[in-house]
Structure 1
């Protein structure tokens, strides 16, 4: 069991390192470009900002980083609150790419990803042109390899750790009702501050038969709300508009869950027909939920922006 604990810790470390490495590398490659695109957007701004956010978050794999970027841009006066809300909606959709990746059978690709990534880094050391681009691209590919390695280690460790009494007690508690499933997903994500890691763990436990799909779905919904805690930290010291932007993720996720609860049965039916693999079913549910709720809320973003500003007023007693 001690060996399983070590594998579990190594899996978490590898998963986080891969996620952070990929986020850092792609962020360095595209962050400035995204800022330029966001400030240059004209016409139907909300839809364009939404789509840009989906693409950018899908690449950097960090919805928290993108939403915090939106808060910073609002604080700097570069972006208005409505655009920041659209950015948040897009980030919620883009981050589902991680769950889709880890639900695929990519074990055989891990070595090739690491080899290609290291090869690009080596080329960057001897290249005379585009040295920085080669290095960052190699770093991003290596990060993806580490992320998938971490998921494989987590699957192996969870299979052994699930036999521990305390682990079994946690699983039994989460299976004790749909509210407990939701609360478990929320609390664990709020503590570890990575919905990607929590979703990866749920996919693994679902495949091993420790969870039914209903429990996994509600835990996924709880995880969606739990990940909002990071963005709330960006409220500290910000302008009223910046605080409203920071609140957007939490308010949107809460509204989405409340509105979607009556339709969880339909979501379950949809994902069951989408794949025979339980892991793929949950990954698809994660994508469908975030995409459908984002599209449903997007037309009401101007109204939501006004509500957020009123809520932010409670945290800003003095005028900015």
Structure 2
């Protein structure tokens, strides 16, 4: 095998993987969240869960992506652990679709239509259609369809190039000997798992194995353990995504691992047991040493995953109990899912809705803390968890909006109607806090990717204002959770200090820009952060005002005219407010006055 063949192989693998990633991204954009919605709604029946898992994974061509969605849903409390079992089983079936598509490479016919379906013809045609839609036509949907077609075309191009690049390997004795060694089941499983873990895609590793069939040395006894290992290796991505998540989310990742490991053990015992019996009776199974083509690999991959599902589906509850024992303890991130049966009892329904809004507040606070930490120490895993939480916040907002609208259709007392209004306003505030936290994380990402950082004085200033906003957020969540008037009264003084700090820090940074001590790029990011932090504190103030309106006496100014109440506070009419304002001013603003900008 020449150097050119090696370079061609590496390039083909890169093209194949990039094509798969591009195609998957396009499909996810086309779904516009509808796939996740389907998963949420159709998973109470185990058989329907399997079907949904297979369909969703078949569309996005990634069992890991489907399982990671499940981890995110369980982590946010939208789905229960039991609901994910069927989806994970179905995901393993759906991930075989790509291999079935790639088997088109085995087509051999003089018919021009059939010939065009071969990867070496079909791939460039798809890529051409995709690039035309992606680059030259206007319109969001057309661009996304173009991205999908381009990715699929690159997938086929990569596959056909791989087949050509690996063809010389059939004449290399060392490669033949190496491949024969993979017939050892333990070594074959290990290699399959390691390659898949490295690529983070069983679909990609199966595609590479399909390409290797062109060498003519891939036999059943070699391919079988490798495919078993590939199904285990695909669990690595899910396990990584569960790091730092709730206990039930980690259990979801373990569920994926156990399903594939148990399925592998059952099939290994069955196939190798049958081979041992057949060897003693008639020289072994007839297909044991048969050479496999791309279609055979696809069929074996599909048969294994369907077989695992059929075998283990009756024991899905046992799998749940197994992972609960593996990851013991009560979940520290549980969330009572909204149940429409509570609508008949508005008081209970309102309590459940309140719990859900508190959960939203917790997610928003976690995202704020993660975003601030990214400013001082960038961590991609932390950013990934932040994005999962943001997705959960958006979904919870939609769920709660619909739930509260339905609750409003029932006969409610005046107090209950006021609580519905308060819940709707507060959930919107927490969702917006989550959005602004994402904006903060995006600024942190820009700073990291461009290799730039704030000056020491700017870092001190940023630490001071993020600390103030963090305390405002903690107190707003605490006052809402406990409905405490005393804590709610402490939020607005902090918000006023944040406004003061924003104006001062903005002026200081503009001076740094004028003097050349700061670049325009850094200056724009600093000012963008100030805007987002001040808006977070504004929403914290809104939450506190909602609580004051609900807990204050009926004739209190905050209930009759909240705008007049705020003006009175800022005029200095409230001594308690002034004392708290001076306390927080000394805590957060005074330290930045003591050092030169």
Tell me if the contact between 2:247 and 2:331 (Cα under 8 Å) persists in the aligned partners: no
**Using a 3 Å threshold, how does the CA distance of structure 1 residues 154 and 119 change in structure 2: closer, same or farther?**
same
| 1:217 counterpart = 2:232 | no
Change (3 A) 1:36 1:190: closer
Could you tell me how far apart the structure 2 residues matched to 1:299 and 1:290 are?
15
Q: Deviations 1:114-151 (Å, cap 9, x if unpaired)?
A: 122223325642xxxxx222111111011001011111
Cα distance in 1 for partners of 2:303, 2:165 equals: 29
Cα-to-partner distance string for 1:146-167 (whole Å, 9 max, x where unaligned): 0111111111222235656774
Match of 1:128 in 2: none
Counterpart in the other structure of 2:52 = 52
Q: Which residue of 1 aligns with 2:8?
A: 7
Q: 2:122 aligns with which of 101, 105, 109?
A: 109
1:244 aligns with: 251
Q: Is contact 1:124-1:132 (8 Å) kept? A: no
Are the counterparts in 2 of residues 4 and 161 from structure 1 also a CA contact under 8 Å?
no
Q: Which residue of 127, 133, 140 maps to 2:148?
A: 140
Assess if the C-alpha contact under 8 Å between 2:20 and 2:151 holds in 1: yes
Per-residue CA distance 1:18-48 (angstroms, 9 max, x = gap): 1000110101111510222223237x52222
Whether 1:92 and 2:92 are equivalent positions in the alignment is yes
Contact 1:70 1:245 in 2 (8 A): yes
Q: CA deviation at 1:216?
A: 0.7
Following TM superposition, by how much is the alpha carbon of 1:63 offset from its aligned partner in structure 2, in angstroms?
1.0
Indicate the SS of the match to 1:73. helix
Q: Contact conserved, 1:93 with 1:291, CA < 8 A, in 2? A: yes
Once structures 1 and 2 are overlaid, which stretch shifts more, 185-194 or 64-73? 185-194
1:229 aligns to 2:242 (yes or no)? no
> For 1:48 and 1:157, how far apart are their aligned partners in 2?
42
1:271–1:284 CA contact under 8 A, matched in 2: no
Give, in whole Å, the separation in 2 of the partners of 1:14 and 1:90.
28
From 171, 174, 179, the equivalent of 1:171 is 179
**Compared with structure 1, are the counterparts of its residues 53 and 2 closer, same or farther at alpha carbon in structure 2 (3 Å cutoff)?**
same
Structure 1 counterpart SS, 2:33: helix
Relative distance call for 1:157 and 1:207 in structure 2 (3 A) is closer
Q: Deviations over 1:177-214 (max 9, x none)?
A: 23322222122222332222221222222342222111
Distance in 2 separating the partners of 1:305 and 1:190: 24
How far has the Cα of 1:80 moved from its partner?
0.8
Give yes or no for the alignment of 1:74 onto 2:74: yes
In the alignment of these two chains, the number of paired residues is 308
Of the structure 1 ranges 116-125 and 144-153, higher mean CA displacement relative to structure 2 is found in 116-125
- Asked if 1:16 corresponds to 2:14, the answer is no
- 1:119 maps to which residue? 132
Alignment deviations for residues 201-237 of structure 1 (CA, whole Å, 9 cap, x no partner)? 2222234222211111111111111111111112211
Q: Indicate the residue corresponding to 2:323 in structure 1.
A: 308
Distance apart, 1:248 and its partner CA: 1.4
| Deviation for aligned residue 1:277 | 6.2
Q: Does 1:40 align with 2:31?
A: no
Q: Which residues in structure 2 correspond to 1:137-286 (within 5 Å)?
A: 137-161=145-169, 167=175, 170-175=178-183, 177-264=184-271, 278-286=293-301
The CA deviation at 1:169 is 5.5
Gaps of 5+ in 1: 126-130
Query: Shift of the alpha carbon at 1:168?
Result: 5.1
Residue 315 of structure 2 corresponds to residue 296 of structure 1? no
TM-score (norm 2): 0.48
Take 2:13 and 2:211, find their aligned partners in 1: how far apart are those partners? 13
1:32-72: per-residue Cα shift (whole Å, max 9, x none)? 10222223237x52222221121111111111111111100
3-state SS, counterpart of residue 104 of structure 1: helix
Following TM superposition, by how much is the alpha carbon of 1:16 offset from its aligned partner in structure 2, in angstroms? 0.8
The CA deviation string for residues 217-261 of structure 1, in whole angstroms up to 9 with x for no partner, is 111111111111111112211111000001111100001011122
Which deviates more from structure 2 when the two are superposed, residues 300-309 or residues 85-94?
A: 300-309
Task: Tell me which moved more, 298-307 or 66-75.
Answer: 298-307
d(CA) in 2 for partners of 1:86, 1:271: 34
State the 1:271 CA deviation: 11
Query: CA 1:276–1:180 in 2, change beyond 3 Å: closer, same or farther?
Result: closer
Offset of 1:318 from its aligned partner? 8.6
